[in-house]
Amino acid sequence: MLNSYLEFAFTVTPVQPGTDILIAQLGEAGFESFVETETGVLAYIQKGEWQEPILDAVGILSSDLFAIDYTKKEIAQTNWNAEWENNFTPIAVGDTCVVRAPFHKAHGVPYEIVIEPKMSFGTGHHETTFMMLQFILENDWDGKTVLDMGCGTAVLAILAEKRGAAQLDAIDIDTWCVENSQENVERNGCSHISVALGDAGNLPAQPTYDTIIANINRNILLDDMATYHRCLKPKGELYLSGFYKEDLPLIQDCCTKLGLTFVENKERHRWIAAKFVN
């Protein structure tokens, strides 16, 4: 029997760190999947699991520090694919890379990535993913060991392997993302990507990676930066995104204190992606 889901569309002001806090608390309350939006988040819970008192346990909803509104609607599980198929168009990143869904025709470019995102983040439509794909296209990955932290759909790891990376770890804290990443890795014929459930606490204690990709959000990046630095090899490269232009000085300051050197950044609709070297 197919399950029906309830979709809650939350509008959060200020968006950060409000959205991060809200997602964490909703996850503890029983919500299964999340899709971040420019104004907040879409959150999903099985209709059979829903009870009105669930939101009473979500403390941020009664906080004076944030203004949060939401709407609720029922969405059948079988309609989810149809919903994103109707809106998911292929994404061209320059002249050499296209990210498309399985039902799109092939484009015949050097780097063609087939992604079925389901409820995972990372198709190339969001500014941060697009800029990280640009960085991967512009830099050398041949023979490198790579960490894709907060991998979402694994689209970044997949492109990095296609660009020559030899060994890649793709990690996400969301079980749905891990399952989706594994499917996408297989779908794209990748054989050097290991997908795992976890967070920064699962990372090695010694320098392991030539390159680290982390497209998450400002607060998690700041909290985990020392861990990224710890497992990054000397002269290794660190690519960060998931934060706004106004947050770049905070990210730069954190990296500088750890001995990382700022190289450059990209900006797209106030979102930032930045490159650092160890």
Q: What is the pLDDT of residue 125?
A: 64
Q: Is 18 annotated as a binding residue?
A: no
For 257-270, what is the mean pLDDT?
Answer: 94
Q: What is the pLDDT of residue 167?
A: 97
Confidence check: pLDDT of 88 > 90: no
Bridge-based pairing of strands 271-277 and 209-215 is unpaired
What six digits make up the tokens of 42?
Answer: 């879409």
Q: Is 199 annotated as a binding residue?
A: no
Confidence check: pLDDT of 4 > 90: no
Question: Can you tell me the distance from the alpha carbon of 267 to that of 270, in angstroms, rounded to the nearest whole number?
Answer: 6
* Most confident region among 45-54, 98-107, 142-151, 172-181 by mean pLDDT: 142-151
Q: Count CB-CB contacts under 10 A for residue 143.
A: 10
Q: Assign a CATH topology to domain 4-82.
A: Alpha-Beta Plaits (3.30.70)
Question: Can you tell me the distance from the alpha carbon of 215 to that of 28, in angstroms, rounded to the nearest whole number?
Answer: 23
More confident position, 91 or 137: 137
The answer for residues whose C-beta is within 8 angstroms of residue 89's C-beta and 6 or more apart is none
Q: Is 122 annotated as a binding residue?
A: no
Domain 131-277 is of which CATH architecture? 3-Layer(aba) Sandwich (3.40)
User: For the sheet containing 91-93, what is the strand order?
Assistant: 91-93, 97-100, 111-114
Strand partners, 13: 67
Stretch among 3-17, 118-132, 175-189 having the lowest mean pLDDT: 118-132
Confidence check: pLDDT of 233 > 60: yes
In three-state form (DSSP H/G/I as H, E/B as E, the rest C), the secondary structure along 220-270 is HHHHHHHHHHHCEEEEEEEEEEEEEHHHHHHHHHHHHHCCCEEEEEEEECC
Q: Where are the domains of the chain?
A: 4-82, 131-277
Confidence of residue 1 (pLDDT cuts 50, 70, 90): very low
Q: Is 140 annotated as a binding residue?
A: no
For 108-114, what is the mean pLDDT?
Answer: 95
Quick: pLDDT tens for 186-204.
Answer: 999 999 999 999 999 999 9
Quick: pLDDT tens for 5-44.
Answer: 889 999 999 999 999 899 888 988 888 777 788 899 998 8
